Structure 1
């Protein structure tokens, strides 16, 4: 259900209080299939799906690598066997080579011319030819097998190197995906229900040459109330809307400390009107994806901190458990520098 429109009066915690770590249970995921996000023609890839796909590819690559290594071992053994056969022929090969060296082609001719009769000439010629054929056949067979094994071994060496490169690439992809998931709060915060990528925001105004952000006054009309916001907050508001997050939002709020009265904070509801805690996949994923967009673009937007679903994120510290007046399960809070 959607709660009636109420004044978003939850104060934002101070920095020191926000950094305090209090462990608290996270709500569990509910409905199975979220609807397509507004402004998108197709369901975006969830980061959890990317990690699963990379790990499946990694497992297949490992199996292929083990298969290649096993086949390479078999071929190495076959190569050794053929090498032993070749070594066994070495005496005969050496004898043939020595004879050829001693007699050359003239020796063979002399042997034939030394025949006393035509019949003995034919017999000697036949014997010499048969010997040459036997020797040539044996050597050719051994050399052919040896060549095939060497070629197969070379091919498998190449395959193993390719598989190792693939394994290294998949490891890097898996680590990168895990880091990306950690950046947006990990499985504990998102339950895996967060898009693998976010649109890139335009850089906010007020960035100095050394990377700092110039102080800004509350000089712009707040599009969500009758109050004011800083130019940087207004830029963030427009970029979040441009990224497709169009549900209810409130920024300026009078009274109290922290960033709302200064026009440097906004509360992004999960509902089209009013505030109500996330209660299904749609509302939880909306909060996750909005948070992911803010965190991934924090350096471009000049973000101070983000609070969502009992967790708080600072650029300097990452995600920490949050305990405050509001557990922020009904909206995403963002403060600007």
Structure 2
């Protein structure tokens, strides 16, 4: 008899499990006559763990290409500024050189017309001790003036030569940076060509073009114009929580100030894109979160938001923008972006993706 109780308990548990399974089947199967309670509406949520489209390798190449292009562009801007400064300095130096050459020529002309007296003869021709002293002082003054004029002329000429050499160096630097930019542009375009090799480029041709006239406040730069290194160090104010970089926070605030106030999600744990690094945000095209393909006014909202980021790409350090199966790169403009999962999140037809430097 003691062994009967455990058997009965196991039988009761099995009966309960079967009953629960049948109940779930009745709820899930249409036409059973049992009304299923609709699930509660889920809050707006970010796209799944790694749905940025393409592949991790592609995104890494695009990030490297865009970073390299932006770095070369900043270096080119610095070189152009230095070239202008050197050009202005060379103009002033050449003018000074001409003036000092004239002074030396003037002294030489006077000496030629009057004939230079030897030091001894000049002193002996004096008729009194006072005259002797006057002649000695005059000779010293003339010699000092000639020596100073010649030294100034030599220094100015050397400065002009150094400036010309530096100017030539800046021109070479500019050519190098232009070549780097061209190489980075080709790198990005080749990566996209490989990714899009088997895709139908049906979205190209202006389907995501919007308008924007708003100017963003520029993000802080280094004194030389480059972008400072930043880490995921400030709190993400979006529902995603986590951390983002100060530049990503700046871009988020500027977009909201420009009127783009719909749902946004930035930080994301896991994945291979910029979200885990705090350098990316997804801006929903619809008011309440990420849904299906944006159409009508929602599509226009996404178009205009993408246009805002592109207009302010220099101010916000934009690496790239993805929207509606296309990607905008600072080096290449809009390009087809495929190889995604075919859903609205990975196709970026329900949100604008922004990555910053």
Length-normalised TM-score, structure 2 = 0.45
TM-score of the superposed pair, with normalisation by structure 1 = 0.48
- Where relative contact order (Cα < 8 A, 6+ residues apart) is larger, the structure is 1
